Amino acid sequence: MKNQRKPLKIFIIGYDWRNILENNFKELEERLKRDRLEPDFNNLFLMAWSTKRYHKKEGNIEALDIRAFFGRFKLFYDFLSIFLAPYIALKYRFRPDIFLTRDFPSVFSGILLKIFFKTKTVFFLGSMPTDLAKSRNFSFLRWGYYYFSEILAKRLVDVYLANGETTRDYLVRLGVKKENIKIMVEDIVLRDKNFIAAAKKGELRKNFNIGEDKKILLSVGRLEKEKGFDRLIDAFGQLCRDDLILIIAGDGSLKRELDDRINNLGLTEKVFLAGNATREKIWNFYKDADAFILLSYSEGNPTVFREAMYMGVPVIGSKIDGIIEFIGADGDKGFLWDEKEGINKLEEKISKSVNNLKEVEEIKKRAKSYIEENINNEYIINDFL
């Protein structure tokens, strides 16, 4: 199949509020590889709204950040992108075969590309947008914008890709035929094989001065409402065990709020917000973790479960579709928890995990085998088109 592949010209529109293009171009390249866009084989042009203008071309990747003069007014920039996309494509002499987006409102930005260049629109779904809007308490107008974008934009998409069964089912509920959706799982593990091989046990304990008599409960994700870190911290504060330390790796808009929550609950010696961990460093976290936990309100295909399961860390997750897809039934490849079960049940599952009981050893083996089966491939986006 490799010999039959033809390089594609892929045009992508997004938002770069962290100035990743300027500050960490290597991270951008890693993300493209994670999403199986194969920047060493395909040609990619990325156009993003950002806090400043910046342009860079390196190898097969050309990226342009356009300064957003009116703050983070997404609806305005989505509308402007409809007309700006073909202009940018012409200016930089990039005739795209594919317009790729992960955001329903951005689908409209490919309309004129489709007309002028006969570009195909490819939509990749990695989360449930309206569910996400609800969990983040978006205003009614913003939620409505996403809702009606889903209804109208789905008619403009030529190829649907989903990163798992949960996100595929979400598209089916929107009216997309199941046979028209292809599942393409991001390459989270294989791209980091060198980092994994170099990961060191003991780094996390050393950085946070955690003794060997303590068990480390790890959680990783954006500090946003849908990840459920508020209820994780609340639940952790109710546990009876004194030998647990909770490390939360990630950054986001709720950092200050979560800091205040930790202080108010008197957990400053037991709960640590570790901030963002680089792809190189995150594997050190898994090396030291006795168990992994994520009590999200909404998930599409949470890659952190794949990482933890691959590293042989027992996992605990909230009982929602995106997490059930990985864990299966409670006790199959990890543990599931619902708030209705109560704190005692959660503590029981945490204790089983961190104490590494014989039952948990079997769970870890099933979990790692499942992940290895899912990542053992070399497909890229070209194979789906």
Mean pLDDT of the chain: 90
Tell me, what DSSP letter sits at residue 171? H
What 3-state class would DSSP assign to 8?
coil
| pLDDT band per the 50, 70, 90 thresholds, residue 217 | very high
- The β-bridge relationship of strands 61-67 and 54-58 is antiparallel
Residue 127 has pLDDT above 80, yes or no: no
Span 132-191, pLDDT tens digits: 555 555 566 777 788 888 889 988 999 999 988 889 998 998 899 999 999 888 877 777
| Residue-level pLDDT at 300 | 78
Strand partners, 293: 316
Instruction: Name which CATH class applies to 2-186.
Output: alpha beta
More confident residue, 178 or 127: 178
Strand partners, 44: 10, 61
| Residue-level pLDDT at 137 | 55
| Residue-level pLDDT at 377 | 64
- Check: CB of residue 256 under 8 Å from CB of residue 226: no
One CATH from 3.40.50.2000, 3.30.9.30, 3.40.640.10, 3.40.50.300 for 192-374 = 3.40.50.2000
For the chain, the domains span: 2-186, 192-374
| pLDDT band per the 50, 70, 90 thresholds, residue 265 | very high
| Separation of alpha carbons 113 and 96, rounded Å | 8
For the chain, percent of residues with pLDDT exceeding 90: 65
| pLDDT band per the 50, 70, 90 thresholds, residue 3 | low
| Residue-level pLDDT at 245 | 97
Q: How far is CA 182 from the centre of its chain?
A: 18
| Residue-level pLDDT at 138 | 59
- Check: CB of residue 191 under 8 Å from CB of residue 30: yes
| Residue-level pLDDT at 348 | 95
| Separation of alpha carbons 114 and 153, rounded Å | 14
pTM given for the model: 0.82
| Residue-level pLDDT at 218 | 97
| Residue-level pLDDT at 311 | 95
| Separation of alpha carbons 44 and 63, rounded Å | 8
| Residue-level pLDDT at 97 | 97
| pLDDT band per the 50, 70, 90 thresholds, residue 128 | low
| Residue-level pLDDT at 25 | 85
Span 270-325, pLDDT tens digits: 999 999 888 889 999 999 999 999 999 888 778 899 999 999 999 999 999 889 98
| Residue-level pLDDT at 375 | 67
